[in-house]
Structure 1
Amino acid sequence: MTSLSGLSFLKAKFPKIKLLIEAEHHKKIPKHLKLSTAVNQAAQSNIFAEYQDRKAYLHNFDYPEKEAVQFLSSLQGEHIDHIVFYGIGMGYHIQHFQKRFPNATYSVYEPRLAIAEQAVTHITKEVFEDVHWRSFEISTSPSHYLHFLQSFIDRTPGTIALAILPSYEYLFEQETNHFKEAFDQILKHKRNNMMVSQKFGLHWVENSLRNFKHVCHTPNIFQQKPYFKDKPIVLVSAGPSLEQEIPYLRQMKEEQSAYIFTAGSSLSVLINHGIYPDAACSYDPNPLNYRVVDKVKDQKIDRIPLIFGSSIGEHILDEYPGEKLHVITTQDTVSSYFFPAVNTGYPVVQDASSIAIIALQIASKLECGLIILVGQNFGYHNGNQYASGIDYVNPTQQFDPKLSIQTEDVEGNMIYSNPSFLSMKKEMELYIKMLNPKQVINTTKGGAAIAGANFMSLTAVIDQYLSANTIDSNWMHQQELYPLHHIEPAKYQLEQEHQKVQKSMVEIQHIFRDMSWYVQEQQIESLSTLFPIFDTAFDRWLNNGFSKMILIPLNRVHYERLYQQVENIFQEQHPVEKAKAILYYYGSFMQQIEKSYTTILPLYKQL
């Protein structure tokens, strides 16, 4: 076993690390972080770290391996599909994990580049070569961990656990706590998304296929960034405090002192008061979402541009009388295939639990200057959940204090809210931290306090921050559409993948038939031969372009459930029992795939 020199092998295995390190290598180690290496009597290396007023070895100096055993003992008996290690240290815990859980996958997040650079000179090449080590991330900015967790948790199926090296909890206490909080929150959001996926999974894919023609023939909102960069923008939500701000929104509209975007149902409230926003934002895949723009359609208002999420319920788009622009969302795998962000240069917006959070992302990615939140209560106000003037919502719906939760409002008082509102609030706070917009002010009187958005009355904001004739009311001019010359070749390539996936599904069914026969006949040797054939066939299906774009998004929840059983199936030693488990879990999954494939095929053929 030979140790590495520097990060050469690590760069080879994780190419992204190479770019991160090359961007950072010229920077000196921060003055408040001092590192030195030490070796114990057993010739085991360690790092002694001094950070601010704290000092510690990254591992137990005398017994680092024994400490690693104790550190990982809490994982005993737990069902974990993937583990994230916070801190690479000198790798003793990783080496022990590889021995104790040889088939478990894991990733490593290291908050200090300087530690990583020293550690890899002592960690053996064999440790890095482990095929189950899926990703390695080194922090290069204060908000790096948020982007990593958002992307990593979203794309990693199954149960994910977090293991934090104890020395990091002591040395880097604040950063570690932030990481833990974000990990828990994003993981919770993913679980909630799974419940939403169960309800809307089919809608997302169906809408993405149906809406593709609209995406092709409408501009991307981010094309208009020059009009919005450094300009103030008001994001109007439909909370019960909205009605108090109507006079000031009218003033801003008349003075053209800030762009006004509505989030969902607040559009109806503003129209009722004769205020036409600069744009209306909507994204909900629910077929009933058309009600959000009913007033626009009924009154044939053609002066309010609609910014739609690309997986929105289709019927909104077909009859909308005004201009339309789109944002591609993470739930739309169709548009992302034909117009990948790496080619267009336009960002993809993360799906979220609230249109207000989608609007916040849009404003931030447009690089607006001041972002002003209006009507963002995240709680009840005078017993109401929503502003009046929304035909399909009962604003006077009362709440039961026994079923509600108290939270702090913008003035330090306690107000009633509910779990749904508070979950959305935490999600918005996470996005404010992650997006790091220039400035966010919450003007919602009586609303819940939002971390990262200081409270100020809307009148004070107007007086202190806004000036007349700041925005360009003709921001919709000079639009360009995507070039479409590559669409037909891309469709041809997708159809090739479609034909391959059809063959893969037939092949897997044949394997299931043979496997079932071998189980019935107790043909142990034949089963042992068939297992690697099945693994290859299923991997071929899993990595197929059509599967990734259509079939897996259609069946996210079923895929997650299957993945939770993979380790148990892999660990099963008896061939007959292993085959039974494959037939049950993979068989049920492929039945669901066949069913959804039959449902979606007519829409795919119309693409």
Structure 2
Amino acid sequence: MDTRTVPTVEILSYNKKIIFHSKYDPIKEAQDWVRNALKLADSGKPLIIIGLAAGYHIEALSRVANDAIITVLEFNSQYYNWFKNSPFYNRIEKLPNIELYDIAALTDNKRESIFANLRSNNILIYKQALDIFPEEYTEAKEYLSSIQIQKKSFLNQSESMERNFDKNITLDDPGIKDWKNYYENKPMLLISAGPSLDKQLPLLKEIKDDGKVILGSVGTAVKPLIRHGITPDFVMITDPNEGTLPQLQKVDLTSTPLFYLSTAYNETIVLHGGARYVVLQDGYDKAEYMAALRKEPLIKTGGSVSTTLLDLMIYLGASTVGLVGQDLAFTNGLSHASGTPFQRLTQQEPGLVEVLDYYQVKQIASSKNLVIYKKWLERYAEHAAHLNLYNCTEGGAFIKNWQHLSLKEFYSTVQ
């Protein structure tokens, strides 16, 4: 297909017309793509490009990142074979730092070696490439789509994150290295603020009063808990935006430790009257630098406060964790539990998707972001066979690789 400058490629995939690169100026578009794609990447480290397209983005990246090894992966074998025999291949064939692969032709060992120790920041996804993924790579497509969405969110919030980081570090709060295995082998409940939290509050009060299970709460769930006489053992806040302010306003948690992500909204953090501990996150350059300087651990975030809290709990020594209020869906058409600052009706919201419900009997409404968190939890459990992970939400979405147990059964099991 001709453009105003150089030719590009137009194909039909799943009855949908796809044009790789701009219809006007593919070269300029490729340069813009590279500039945006490298904003979060680690300079000088290996890079992976997902998708051959017409190759202009590969050529542009090779020139800018000439000190990095660049691996290009194509998931559509038919397109890969066509590309290798097309004139577009001639433009990148002799580039010194480029390796092209058909993913289907790679051995398991080769795939593992490509992705070994590679951070998602250095996986650069050419968006239209996902549109031609064969059905057998649906799970890989979902994973890559989640990386795309998280990167976009990260870039949109990068200024506020940096501003919060700089302010939070000046608080001079301790990190978490002295908390390593503090709750070793003690069962924990990770309490989120999904709609199903409402029905769990009476039993959570009983569990708290018994004192045998450690309760960790996300900030949004704090007020519903306190209203029912439940003070969590610790709280976590991660969001860099001022929307978190209501979570700790007019709340007395002076005896409860607050763990907060280094980029969390500073004005919310300083509201807390008790002990505070800064959590440095994997994947954020400033936090990684500070962790190395202070000899602090890095915690995986997963994109949400609950996913971050899970990894923190494991660091704190938990080997048994139950999820409560972790709906990951809009149970009964609601976004959050009663009494939270954010509860809303969701039936008319755009972009709803469907997921299998907790009881595996029907499809229920969710959102793309919530599905991303669900997939993260599923992958986390898949690679943590040594942990006992339970979904005790009793509502919301089914989470693959987690054991689904009622909160009452969980409580009986861990006593």
Matched, 1:382 2:332: yes
Q: Aligned-pair distance for 1:427?
A: 2.6
Could you list the per-position Cα deviations for residues 60-100 of structure 1 after superposition, in whole angstroms to 9, with x for gaps in the alignment?
xxxxxxxxxxxxxx94724453544599xxxxx9x998996
Unaligned residue ranges in structure 2 (runs of 5+): 1-44, 46-50, 59-69, 76-80
Q: Aligned-pair distance for 1:456?
A: 0.7
Cα pair 1:310 1:332 within 8 Å, conserved: no
Look up the match of 1:460.
409
Cα pair 2:280 2:287 within 8 Å, conserved: yes
2:238 alignment partner, one of 280, 283, 297: 283
Q: Aligned-pair distance for 1:416?
A: 2.4
Look up the match of 1:245.
200
1:138 alignment partner, one of 113, 127, 139: 113
Q: Aligned-pair distance for 1:403?
A: 5.5
Q: Aligned-pair distance for 1:234?
A: 0.4
Q: Aligned-pair distance for 1:349?
A: 2.1
Code of the aligned partner of 1:369: S
Q: Secondary structure in 2 aligned to 1:451?
A: coil
Q: 1:237 to 1:105 in 2, by over 3 A?
A: same
Look up the match of 1:194.
151
Look up the match of 1:353.
303
Matched, 1:417 2:373: no
Question: How is 1:191-230 mapped onto 2 (pairs within 5 angstroms)?
Answer: 191-214=148-171, 216-220=172-176, 222-230=177-185
Question: How is 1:293-308 mapped onto 2 (pairs within 5 angstroms)?
Answer: 293-296=248-251, 300-308=252-260
Code of the aligned partner of 1:387: A
Could you list the per-position Cα deviations for residues 512-535 of structure 1 after superposition, in whole angstroms to 9, with x for gaps in the alignment?
xxxxxxxxxxxxxxxxxxxxxxxx
Q: Aligned-pair distance for 1:187?
A: 2.5
Could you list the per-position Cα deviations for residues 480-524 of structure 1 after superposition, in whole angstroms to 9, with x for gaps in the alignment?
xxxxxxxxxxxxxxxxxxxxxxxxxxxxxxxxxxxxxxxxxxxxx
Q: Aligned-pair distance for 1:365?
A: 3.2
Quote the Cα distance in structure 1 between the aligned partners of 2:181 and 2:53: 55
Cα pair 1:305 1:325 within 8 Å, conserved: yes
Q: 1:153 to 1:394 in 2, by over 3 A?
A: closer
Matched, 1:394 2:343: yes
Could you list the per-position Cα deviations for residues 148-177 of structure 1 after superposition, in whole angstroms to 9, with x for gaps in the alignment?
4xx4331345649999xxxxx9xxxxxx96
Look up the match of 1:362.
312
Q: 1:162 to 1:274 in 2, by over 3 A?
A: same
Q: 1:380 to 1:192 in 2, by over 3 A?
A: same
TM-score by length of 1: 0.50
Name the Cα RMSD after superposition.
3.5
Could you list the per-position Cα deviations for residues 350-394 of structure 1 after superposition, in whole angstroms to 9, with x for gaps in the alignment?
34332111111112333411110001111122222211011x223
TM-score by length of 2: 0.71
Could you tell me the percent identity over the aligned residues?
Answer: 20
Question: How is 1:584-599 mapped onto 2 (pairs within 5 angstroms)?
Answer: none
Unaligned residue ranges in structure 1 (runs of 5+): 1-15, 17-73, 88-92, 117-135, 140-144, 164-168, 170-175, 468-607
Code of the aligned partner of 1:292: Q
Q: Aligned-pair distance for 1:309?
A: 0.5
Q: Aligned-pair distance for 1:107?
A: 7.9
Quote the Cα distance in structure 2 between the aligned partners of 1:86 and 1:367: 41
Q: Aligned-pair distance for 1:268?
A: 1.4
Cα pair 1:361 1:435 within 8 Å, conserved: no
Matched, 1:152 2:119: yes
Q: 1:386 to 1:158 in 2, by over 3 A?
A: closer
Q: Aligned-pair distance for 1:419?
A: 2.8
Aligned residues: 337
Higher helix share: 1
